[in-house]
Amino acid sequence: ENDHIVRRAYQKEVEGAIQKALTQASDDAVPVDLSPSMLPGAPPLWFMNWALDNMLQQTSSQSRWHLEATGDFIRCTPKDAVARQSQAEVILLKNGDLPYIDLKVFSSAYSSLYGTIDAVIELLAPESEVEVRSPYAYSQSWFSELAGRLLRPLQTAGYVDITTVLSEHCQSPCIEDAAKILEQSLRSAWAAAPGTPNNLDQNNLRQAGDFVLTPARHDQEQTALLSASQSYAIEQWKSLQEDLGKEMVCSLQAIEDSLTGTVPLLKALMGDKEVRKAVEEQFWSEVSRLEAENESAFSTFWTDRVPVRVRVYTDGLEIIQDAKLKDQLSDLLATYIQKELLPESISKARAQGLVCSRKTKKNLQRFETISKSSKKGASELATTIERFSKKQGMAEPDSSSLAGAKIRLVQDMTRKLQKQSEGPLLFLTLVIILLARHQSGVVYATGKFAPKLLKHLKTSLRAEQYEQLELWKEGAKGSTLTPKDKAAMKQMA
């Protein structure tokens, strides 16, 4: 400016116009944008800036104004007006007329006083009614009032969706923190409300996702989840019975997809780690119950069909005194056990859905492999069967169960004998039945062994009975048995 000359009168005229504009801005508590076009003679920008600085110095009012040069104008903001406006906004926040303020927006709006977010935080720090969670500050009064209004639906319905409620008042970036504040306000309101069950402890309220729940509603919904988990386990079990190749798998997503009722609330609960753990534990608990039932049914089927029957047959061998005959019958029994009894029993157990338990599957698969691996004797097979039964937790057959099994076996042979017309088979069955009635166990034999087995009855029957059996033996051998003979044989049985 040293290289310019200006008339003092013009300088005063320009400074007067600036003074007038600033006075009006101060009275209105609003900024004013000074530009050359609004001044007398439209001086250059540098002259306007010089005149403004000169006027402020002469009036000692530099500290009252915040100046910001932007392009071809200078924005002059009265600091006392800024202070009043900012304080008015803080009061609105404290009183609950505003739910929150954006610290960045506040700093930008009142940059002449609070040019940084930290400066705004420092301004709000003493205010107990304001909770600062940068980059926002929240009104405790507003949230307390809202919590009071939500208390009744919380008490009646048992839950409130705080995120949905807040979405009407808060922008999405601050929803998360706002939800935490509202949750705490609800807890305080719950603890203070008269007539609220368990209202002495605000921690009784439960939180799940977007929801706050009463303890009773939380338990109700968790029970529904556990029920859904149990139903899913049963559904999986039925599927397993139809396809034994499947494995039981706990899919929390599948359980969630199957939910009915208050689905959003249930899904929110599923987001809780402890609830998910309880749901998964319920699934496996139900599976364990179903497996226990299945193992029990398998045990009943297996014990009567295999261990007891094998024991009855092996006991039957003990009456055979002829070593060679005993070995032959033992080999015959082993072949029957290995080739017929075990494969048929395993196949029937699977067909009847008795091999669904993981334990039974594993043990039976191993047992099946061992029993098929090579030719085994009757005693070795009996030992293998006994070991398998122990792994399954089955008790050893007692004398009562063995006696009952023997009776049922003899009764079954007797019924079949009544329908039998083939001489050799009729005679064999009769001899086996008579041996069983006079000795322990039941002999497993084919027709060719009938004559030798007959000799073991000599000391157990009356002479005339034994002689009659000898005659029938010859008749069966020569196919000369008459209908009367066959009827008499059935009668003796």
Neighbours of 422 (CB within 10 A): 14
Q: Which residues lie below 8 Å from residue 490, measured CB to CB, with a gap of 6+?
A: 417, 418, 426
Structure tokens at 257: 């997809």
CA-wise closest residue to 382 among 316, 471, 293: 316
Q: Mind listing the pLDDT tens digit for each residue in 259-296? A: 888 889 999 999 999 999 999 999 999 999 999 999 99
Q: Mind listing the pLDDT tens digit for each residue in 85-98? A: 889 999 999 999 99
Sheet holding 136-139, edge to edge: 100-102, 136-139, 130-133
Reading phi first (left if > 0) and then psi (alpha if -120 to 50, else beta), residue 266 is in alpha
Which DSSP helix (H) or strand (E) runs through 160? Answer: strand 159-161
171-175, 188-192, 249-253, 308-312: range with highest mean pLDDT: 308-312
Do the Cβ atoms of 151 and 159 come closer than 8 Å? no
- pLDDT for 200: 46
Helix (H, G, I), strand (E, B) or coil at 350: helix
Structure tokens at 467: 């002689």
Rounded to an integer, what distance in angstroms lies between the CA atom of residue 247 and that of residue 240?
Answer: 7
Q: Is the pLDDT of residue 201 over 70?
A: no
Do the Cβ atoms of 159 and 265 come closer than 8 Å? yes
Do the Cβ atoms of 144 and 188 come closer than 8 Å? yes
DSSP string, 127-144: -TTEEEETTEEEEHHHHH
Rounded to an integer, what distance in angstroms lies between the CA atom of residue 456 and that of residue 320?
Answer: 8
Pairing mode of beta strands 159-161, 211-213: antiparallel
Rounded to an integer, what distance in angstroms lies between the CA atom of residue 266 and that of residue 229?
Answer: 12
Long-range interactions of 230-234: CB distance < 8 A, separation 24+: 230/282, 230/283, 230/286, 231/258, 232/258, 232/283, 233/282, 233/283, 233/284, 233/286, 233/287, 233/290, 234/286, 234/290
Q: Where are the beta strands (DSSP E) in 210-329?
A: 211-213
pTM: 0.72
Rounded to an integer, what distance in angstroms lies between the CA atom of residue 419 and that of residue 399?
Answer: 31
Residue 194 is given by DSSP the state: T
Rounded to an integer, what distance in angstroms lies between the CA atom of residue 427 and that of residue 454?
Answer: 10
- pLDDT for 199: 46
Structure tokens at 433: 């039945």
Long-range interactions of 169-175: CB distance < 8 A, separation 24+: 169/99, 170/99, 170/100, 174/100, 174/102, 174/136, 174/138
In the chain, which segments carry CATH 3.30.1370?
8-79
Q: Is the pLDDT of residue 333 over 90?
A: yes
Say what percent of the chain tops pLDDT 90: 58
Average pLDDT, the chain: 90
Q: Is the pLDDT of residue 387 over 90?
A: yes
Cα distances (Å, whole numbers) of residue 290 to 146, 236, 237, 280, 293 = 49, 11, 8, 15, 5
Least reliable range by pLDDT among 73-82, 387-396, 405-414: 73-82
- Specify burial of residue 423 (Cβ count, 10 A radius: 0-12, 13-18, 19+): buried
* CATH number of this structure's domain 8-79: 3.30.1370
